[in-house]
Amino acid sequence: MIDELLNTMTLEEQVSLLAGADFWTTVPVERLGVPKIKVSDGPNGARGAGSLVGGVKAACFPVAIALGASWNPALVERMGVALAGQAKSKGASVLLAPTVNIHRSGLNGRNFECYSEDPLLTAELAVAYIQGVQSQGVAATIKHFAGNESEIERQTMSSDIDERSLREIYLLPFEKAVKTARVMAVMSSYNRLNGTYTSEHPWLLTEVLRQDWGFDGIVMSDWFGSHSTAETVNAGLDLEMPGPTRDRGEKLVQAVKDGQVAPETVREAARRILTLLGRVGAFEQAPDLSEHALDLPEDRALIRRLGAEGAVLLKNDGILPLTKTSLEQIAVIGPNAAEARVMGGGSAQINAHYRVSPLEGIRAALSNANSIRHAAGCRNNRLTRVFAGELTVEYFAGTLCQGMPVATERSEKGEFFWFDLPHAALKLDDFSVRVTATFRAEESGEHVFGMTNAGLARLYLDGELVVNGDDGWTRGENYFGTANTELRTPVMLEAGRTYRLTVDYLSPPPKEEGITITALRFGLEKPLGDQAIEDAVAEAAASDVAVLFVGRDGEWDTEGLDLPDMRLPGRQEELIERVTAANPNTVVVLQTGGPVEMPWLDKVRGVLQVWYPGQELGHAVADLLFGDAEPGGRLPQTFPKQLADNSAITGDPAIYPGQNGHVRYAEGVFVGYRHHDSRGVEPLFPFGFGLGYTRFAWSEARASAKDMGADGITVEVDVTNIGDRRGSDVVQLYVKPLSSAIERPEKELRAFAKLELGAGETGTARLTIKPRDLSYFDVEARAFRAEAGDYDVLIAASATDIRSRIAIRNPAVWLAAASDRSI
């Protein structure tokens, strides 16, 4: 069928398939019955074609680092199945997920969106996710291929990575996704790799991906991430996104006529697009692109369970779980207590069906609501609190907010991200908006108005200009680096008085290169001062236990910018110090997208890391605090004692954050625990670490053989739950070479198994390793090489907790060419 279509298509029709029609759909060929399909952002939900801050509601699942902390591929596969259903509810046939870039540093803004610092753990979870999604006839899109481990200058930065490190660390999740999960789509990254944009990198897209690994799906650009015509097509980039095309269309037709691109190259790219349409069933039944909300009880239950599975208990001196019946007063304190921080920021955002805050979850779990005392203590938001209230939004043709509005909408939130406009007469590069609202000040005193805008904007209060986001506009750090840094202005307000707020927004001119965004965000807040901390201290002092909800939110953990450091923002560390001084029975619940420094660790009795676990946040946290669920997580990323202990943070800007358009991965394969092990740097909490509410006894490990053969070696460990409640444990297998011709990490994770056991129950972890698990990548031989000699198999509960050691031997050198299709 596909050959018949290709034979019938004109060159122009084949070319039309190789770029999007708009932001989210492909181009149909109506003459031949070729339908269009829709793609949707993931990875912790399926947003559909809506704005990043609105649109049809969708189920909000835990972010990827929380899934990484679960160490539970089977459960992640179930999530993939559920996400496929969510994608279908948005009319989408392709889900733009999972994200599998490696946690190189603790500062990457998208650290939360990636699974782990370890390529094997990342790969196993990605494979499970993809298999779940694709089992339902929806294509998964693994991203970002490759070297996108930072958000700093990501659209132009060159990640300079040697081939050994690429093959062993950064490419392995993609390789497994292709060879094991048969992923249908790959998304190229924005950055350059060793000087060449990944979207036009023939070694990456053709030699490695297609020739070495046998990938037969499509490669698409990240949005606005292609930069050329002939170069991208010849390198192996099939689909330019979004549309309408900038570099294909007539330009590509002419490139074929001029001999810069062979007709066969276009035909094969078009073949791959048509093959994808066939794989998602688009030829059998043209997709219904309409969108609706799908809120299923089974999805709610799965999200709640995933939240517990990924929560990591970092410290517990016996205070947890809390006993409901013995608590007369519990203080629920912190900036994340009454706020439901359910996801990170950027393109992973969705309009969640609902959000349960920790305070709401605790209230629902306790029969006596009067036993709960609450205080925020301080704020941790990076941007001014977004305006909430009834807003009138008027759209005008042209950029002057003049004449009659073309369209009028209502909104309840002062944030707008326009992919589409509400009327055909409006164009994204030539429209304006007037947003108006009235509000009543609740308190007297100094308030702060803040605004950030991609485009030009001015905010007025009762007709007086308060924030000028027009004159002198310069690019800053918001909206993927397309908006200005937030401008803030203090204003004195009077309690009880009604004010009229107006914002005029003018769309930005189109850009020839890079991302063009039309977005606006404005907010209003009364700063919290010393009294807020005093109030929190008083509530803590009057309670039996204080639970402190601290961390960050999606304004910090977001696409488009990296973190400035690994400290808790705002006055949160001060808040912890003051609360623990008032009540030593303090538990800290952390919400971050990665590691944080903990100078306060010795002063608290418990620390629970819950990441951003989705819409059931509050219920999942209450389950964990009161023992209705087990914290089943283990760290997927090392928590260093201080930022300088990270392998990428050396003080040399060429290594991080980058210099002169290049960031050099000088640490090579020594990322995460590989660095801490091999360089003797003691972590705060090691990779793979996590406590639980029960205890386990492990038997000595036993191996099926002492010599490595083609079928590998299977290691078994019996694990017994010797506690009095159900729980889970993770058995980790690391391989340690006893000698090597090259420098290698002290040990590397090669297999793992998670066991869930009832009280008194015994289970057996079975872990298989094969010759490649002993290998490193030999660049000169262009092959994975396992040297002959002795190795130790280490059975561990974390990177620093070795429980058993088995000596094995590789009797002869083993080589597998880079083009070997097995893994």
Q: Which two tokens stand for residue 414?
A: 């002062």
Q: Assign 3-class secondary structure to 621-673.
A: HHHHHCCCCCCCCCCCCCEECCHHHCCCCCCCCCCCCCECCEEECCCCCCCCH
Q: Are 374 and 330 in contact (CB under 8 A)?
A: no
Q: Are 308 and 630 in contact (CB under 8 A)?
A: yes
Q: Which two tokens stand for residue 658?
A: 């980058």
* Catalytic machinery residues: 222
Name residue 11's amino acid.
L
Which residues have C-beta within 8 Å of that of residue 596, sequence separation ≥ 6? 551, 566, 567, 568, 590, 639
d(CA 573, CA 570) in angstroms, rounded, equals 8
Closest CA to 327 of 361, 363, 356: 363
d(CA 458, CA 492) in angstroms, rounded, equals 19
SS3 state of residue 746:
coil
The residue behind tokens 């190189």 is 104
Name residue 187's amino acid.
M
Q: Are 710 and 695 in contact (CB under 8 A)?
A: no
The residues pairing with 795 across neighbouring beta strands, listed in sequence order, are 733, 804
The residue behind tokens 């991203």 is 143
DSSP string, 282-333: TTTS-----------HHHHHHHHHHHHHH-EEEEESS--SPPGGG-S-EEEE
The residues pairing with 197 across neighbouring beta strands, listed in sequence order, are 192
**Angle, CA 302 vertex, CA 301 and CA 308 arms, to 5°:** 95
d(CA 160, CA 652) in angstroms, rounded, equals 15
Closest CA to 90 of 278, 289, 240: 289
Q: Which two tokens stand for residue 179?
A: 């060879």
First CA to last CA distance, the chain: 32
Q: Are 91 and 290 in contact (CB under 8 A)?
A: yes
Alpha carbon 740 to chain centroid distance?
Answer: 36
Name residue 395's amino acid.
Y
**Alpha-carbon torsion angle 490, 492, 496, 500, nearest 10:** -60
SS3 state of residue 360:
helix
Count of all residues that appear for the chain in the document? 823
The residue behind tokens 């279509």 is 5
Q: Are 514 and 359 in contact (CB under 8 A)?
A: no
Residue 580's region, left for phi above 0, alpha for psi from -120 to 50, else beta, is alpha
Radius of gyration, CA atoms only, the chain:
27
Q: Which two tokens stand for residue 225?
A: 């991430």
Which residues have C-beta within 8 Å of that of residue 775, sequence separation ≥ 6? 784, 785, 786, 814, 816
d(CA 331, CA 372) in angstroms, rounded, equals 6
